[in-house]
A and B are shown apart, each in its own frame.
Chain A
Amino acid sequence: MMNSVILNAATRLLVSLLVLFSIYMLLRGHNLPGGGFIGGLTGATGFVLYAIAHGTEATRAALRVEPQNIAMIGLGVALAAGVSAAIFGDAFFTGQWLFLGATEDDKGLPLSSVLVFDIGVYLVVFGSILTLVLALEEEV
């Protein structure tokens, strides 16, 4: 934990920006560079910065949920995305698509189980990185 006015002030701005950007990365990931993995890393970076500026205790308080639990819930979400194919009688991990408001010439808003899987990956990466970093920070 560093006591620096500049860092503290910058962190306040950067954390929200990084988390927002990570969600943007997650959502564009299906068709463009990005996705759950890189999104999770970016999101975790925000909280790592917060931990450097305000200490690990404040970070854990800000996260509300233990980071290792976040990672495990992410694993569960990813698994559920794969298993959801069973409802439609497809093989494990077959992507399921829903096109909201699709018309003849517009495919509407595509929603898929692939995105749910990516959200799971996001949470796994986010949680694991923070578990490691917070443990290392607390060790020092």
Chain B
Amino acid sequence: MSWTLASPIIIPFATAVLAFLFRRGPEGRWLSVIGAAALLIASGLLMAEVWAEGVVAAQMGGWAAPFGITLVADLLSAVMVVITGITGLAVAVYALADVDARKEELGFHALFQVLLAGVCGAFLTGDIFNLYVWFEVMLIASFGLLILGGRREQLDGGVKYVTLNLVSTILFLSAVGLLYGMTGTLNMADLHGAVQEVDNPGLLVTVAVMFMVAFGVKAAVFPLFFWLPASYHTPAFSVSAIFAGLLTKVGVYALVRVFTLIFTTDVAYTHTILLWVAGLTMITGVLGAAAMNDFRRILSFHIVSQIGYMILGLALFTPLAIVGAVFYIVHHIIVKANLFLVAGVAKRIAGSTDLAAIGGLYRTAPLLGLLFLIPAFSLAGFPPLSGFWAKYVLVKASLDAQSYWIAAVALVVGLLTIYSMTKIWGAAFWTPHPEGRAPRLTDLPARDRAALLVPIASLAALTCVIGFYPEPFVVFAERSAAQLLDPAAYVGAVLGEASGAAAEAGPGLAEPEGGQ
């Protein structure tokens, strides 16, 4: 059990080491692909175990909870790790054709794998200080990926990215310190019980809001999202795809985890703030996107608006709303990463991501048109694609909770999403290319074509599967939401097993001193 939990972290780290040592040859990139595939398999095994046995937990190094570092996976963690495996594999394959030899020599694949390790670590840890450490690992790796290549605009975006994220990290660390001062524990399951006994509820809410701001920066919610559209359009396409898919979602995951497990003492206050944040995030994101004229910039602003939907699910805090949030996160990661991958292909064959400078893709590359249409319409919430079900559940949850205004916002934002998707469609696909070029997929070398299109097609197929057979995914989201809303199983898995492990570990710990 311990090793199924740890392997999604160990595999990417080991791959990073090997890929770095072989960075000068073709072995490096294939090691990266193999490592990503192994990660996907490991995440599948973890998911199978969590599905069969409920929440699983393991104490690293045999140090019992709440003193040691616990790795724990409930269904939400497990599905996030699976999605990380899927996106990681898709992007690793895509990077075969997207990343040039110079970036590989600087260590692209190693940084990419370290990023995956950081993301998996953040999803699996049961210790709030350890979560901070994983955020740092992600920050270091993502900063490296962002500035790899060293163009001026990359450095510009990278500096904004790292500065704002450092502010968030410092806030996170201070909040962890305060929380530890109040409760004397860092283990999240233990915190669940410990916060009930804090005799200063006002201070607890203050700390809760500090966490909200810190994770809010990571998740790019209103009004803390500025770093995202300033940086995501600058690096290599594979990098922006993995960022768009996974990084902000780690912030969302952290918000969901903390505000379902720990800070549920004053739901009326904290979750109302979250609700307002959700509404404003949706609106500003989608309006920002409407004002942009670059493929990737539009998509970047859309990340912001979509984050709003996920926060909405958390903020309403009803079973159905949490189901919606979980469903939305899963659907969104696949769709969003895919759209960035499509943008990369469009740039390769049409020469730019500026919508004014490209066109004619529909006539000459209809396959790419289809592959764009699936994630784009799913993002906008067209039935029967995955986004429709995600939005449907969330809107229904808001109506059930009688938050009619937020339901209205969600629907209007969906409409405006269609507007900017049609803007991309119209400019990049329908209007003729301004320079009269006829961009064709066949212009690409066959190997590159396969490496670029296979991941896109697979992710699009997955979107369709979720769309046409939403039933099992909804059942899954329901079980996962039930676990989130009733943390007893989570707490039991972490602390209950710990008491047994402590007795077992007792003689083992004393062993080094045993001879005396």
Shortest Cβ distance from residue B57 to the other chain A in the assembled complex, whole angstroms: 11
A76 near B60: Cβ-Cβ < 8 Å: no
Contact B515 A105 (CB under 8 A): yes
- What distance in Å separates the Cβ of B27 from its nearest Cβ neighbour in chain A? 14
Q: Is chain B's binding surface mostly helix, strand, loop or mixed?
A: helix
Which chain B residue has the least Cβ–Cβ distance from A106? B515
B511 in the interface, Cβ–Cβ < 8 Å? yes
Closest-by-CB residue of B relative to A110 is B512
CB distance from B134 to the nearest CB of A (A): 15
Q: Which of A38-46, A50-58, A88-96 contacts B (4 or more CB under 8 A)?
A: A88-96
Please encode chain A, from 93 to 110, with 1 for each CB lying within 8 Å of some chain B CB and 0 for all others. Answer: 111010100100111101
- B51-83 near A? 1/0 per residue, CB < 8 Å: 000000011111000000001000000000000
Determine if A15 is an interface residue (Cβ-Cβ < 8 Å).
Answer: no
Task: Pick from A69, A73, A90, A112: contact of B62, CB below 8 A.
Answer: A90
Chain B CB within 8 A of A10 CB: no
Contacts of B355 in A (CB 8 A): none
Q: Does A133 make an interface contact (CB < 8 A)?
A: no
Say which size band chain B's interface belongs to.
20 to 34
Which residues of the partner chain A approach B515 to less than 8 Å between Cβ atoms? 99, 102, 105-108
Looking at the complex, which of B16-24, B146-154, B432-440, B486-494 is the stretch in contact with chain A?
B16-24
The answer to whether the Cβ of B404 comes within 8 Å of any Cβ in the partner chain is no
Chain B residues closer than 8 Å to A102, beta-carbon distance? 515
Verify if A68 is at the interface (C-beta below 8 Å from B).
Answer: yes
Q: What string of 1s and 0s marks CB contacts (under 8 Å) between B479-499 and chain A?
A: 000000000000000000000
What residue of chain B has the Cβ atom nearest to residue A80's Cβ?
B14
B174 interface residue per 8 A CB criterion: no
- Is A27 interfacial (CB 8 A cutoff)? no
The proximity string for B residues 1-16 relative to A, scoring 1 for CB distances below 8 Å and 0 otherwise, is 0110010001001101
Q: How far is the CA of A102 from the CA of B60 in the complex (A)?
A: 28
Q: With the chains together, A90 CA to B508 CA distance in Å?
A: 11
- Inter-subunit contact B511/A94 (CB<8 Å): no
Judge whether A72 and B13 touch: CB under 8 Å: no
Q: At the interface, yes or no: A79 with Cβ under 8 Å from chain B?
A: yes
Pairwise interchain contact A93-B516, C-beta atoms closer than 8 A: no
Q: Does B107 contact A (CB under 8 A)?
A: yes
User: Does B406 make an interface contact (CB < 8 A)?
Assistant: no
CB-CB nearest in chain A for B515: A107
Q: Is the CB of A91 within 8 A of B21?
A: no
Contact (Cβ within 8 A) B17 A91:
no
B residues less than 8 Å from A73 (CB atoms): 17, 21
A15 to B13, CA, bound (A): 32
Q: Are A91 and B10 in contact (CB under 8 A)?
A: no
Assess whether B514 is in contact with A79, with CB atoms less than 8 Å apart: no
- A72 engages B60 (CB within 8 Å): no
> Would you give the 0/1 interface string for A53-80, flagging 1 where the beta carbon is closer than 8 Å to chain B?
0000000000000001100110110010
Inter-chain CA distance A72–B109, complex, in Å, is: 13
For the complex, give the distance between the alpha carbons of A128 and B6 in Å: 25
Partner of B21, one of A72, A83, A105, A112: A72
Give chain B interface residues in 252-290, CB to chain A under 8 Å: none
Q: Which residues of B contact A82 (CB under 8 A)?
A: 10
Residues of B within 8 A of A91 (CB): 2, 6, 58-62
Which residues in B have their C-beta under 8 angstroms from that of A72? 16-17, 20-21, 110
User: Provided the pairs A97-B511, A107-B516, A110-B512 are in contact, do residues A92 and B20 lie with their beta carbons within 8 angstroms?
Assistant: no
A92 B110 Cβ-Cβ under 8 A: no
Q: Is A132 an interface residue (CB 8 A)?
A: no
Cα–Cα, bound, A52→B186 (Å): 44
CB A17 to nearest CB in B, in angstroms, measures 31
Whether A69 and B59, one on each chain, are in contact in the complex, defined by CB atoms closer than 8 angstroms, is: no
Q: Please, how many angstroms separate the alpha-carbon atoms of A72 and B22 in the complex?
A: 11
Residue A86 CB within 8 A of the other chain: yes
A92 and B60 contacting across the interface, CB-CB below 8 Å: yes
What 7 A-B pairs have minimum CB-CB distances, sorted nearest first?
A: A107-B515, A76-B17, A92-B6, A91-B2, A93-B61, A72-B20, A94-B62
A/B interface sample: 5 pairs, CB < 8 A: A72-B110, A76-B17, A92-B61, A105-B515, A107-B512
Residues of B in contact with A (beta carbons under 8 Å apart) = 2-3, 6, 10, 13-14, 16-18, 20-21, 58-62, 71, 107, 110, 508, 511-512, 514-516
